Amino acid sequence: MQKEKNRVALASVIAAVFITGFKLIIGLLTGSLGILSEALHSALDMVAAIITFFSVRVSDKPADKEHNYGHGKVENLSALIETLLLLVTCVWIIYEAVHRLISGNTHIEVSIWSYVVVICSIVIDFTRSRALYKVARKHNSQALEADALHFSTDIWSSTVVLFGLLSYQFLGWYAADSIAALCVAVIVLFVSYQLGRKAIDVLLDKSPVNTTLIVRTILKEFPEVLKYHGLKARTAGADTFIKFNVHFDPELSLREVHEVCDKIELKIQSLIPRSEVYIHAEPEDACHADNEDDDYIL
């Protein structure tokens, strides 16, 4: 698993370096704000890809004395940093585009290389985003998912820039390039919001709704469980930590209770990969039934 994540992350770094350099050279030669904005976008993607590469190398390290729950949140922190980098991109793009529209300085030089760099970028971004999404879903990696989102965003933004170049050259719409750059900024802002919200939710230990629904459904399958409460879940990178209390008939033996808890744990782990389950068993009696605000009777 670790080798596959490292391999796809490294390939993304190499792709980002190539795309950034290519866009920067053509953008400077043509003066196209659309291409230059794409170059800056790709440059931050390159930094994000490097951060992702190092984060996936650290995130799967096993728990130790200082990090009892592992290093998974390194991936979530990486995703948050990538969000901030995307926001920096937006500020520059919006400022430069508005400045050109107001000043009227919208002249650019469109050449065959303008189209080559944009189309090449779309092809590479499509290939990398698919590869990253595939591995991200397979290993539940938020850092790789964030990197895939970066490359996916580049596909749309490059398409907008291509439209701007065509409009400028064939329709004489001189403001098209700057307007295309503003469209890129809007796309990046939307992606930043989605990505940042998800990363912050994990860093603040927001309970994953799908996880708790799965656990509740599983508990209903065990007639020995009379009631449960205190269900809590959180994620850290690709790992999910789940804990809850379950009530059993006091007449059941310790061995029987233990066997049921083992079955519940195995069932949860079969449906939620890389999950750690903590179950506290209690007898169902008046003492334990009182003052439970979040009891769920099955």
Say what the pLDDT of residue 296 is: 63
Say what the pLDDT of residue 293 is: 47
Say what the pLDDT of residue 292 is: 46
Say what the pLDDT of residue 295 is: 56
Say what the pLDDT of residue 214 is: 93
Helix (H) or strand (E) holding 61: none
Point out the residues of the chain with pLDDT beneath 70.
1-2, 32-34, 37-38, 41, 60, 104-110, 140, 142, 177, 286-298
Say what the pLDDT of residue 215 is: 94
In the chain, the domains with their CATH numbers are 2-203 (1.20.1510.10), 209-297 (3.30.70.1350)
- For residue range 72-115, list pLDDT tens digits in order: 778 778 778 877 877 877 787 788 778 777 876 655 566 787 78
Helix (H) or strand (E) holding 138: helix 112-139
Comparing CA positions, the residue from 189, 130, 137 lying closest to residue 155 is: 130
C-beta separation of 42 from 154 below 8 A: yes
C-beta separation of 52 from 78 below 8 A: yes
C-beta separation of 192 from 87 below 8 A: yes
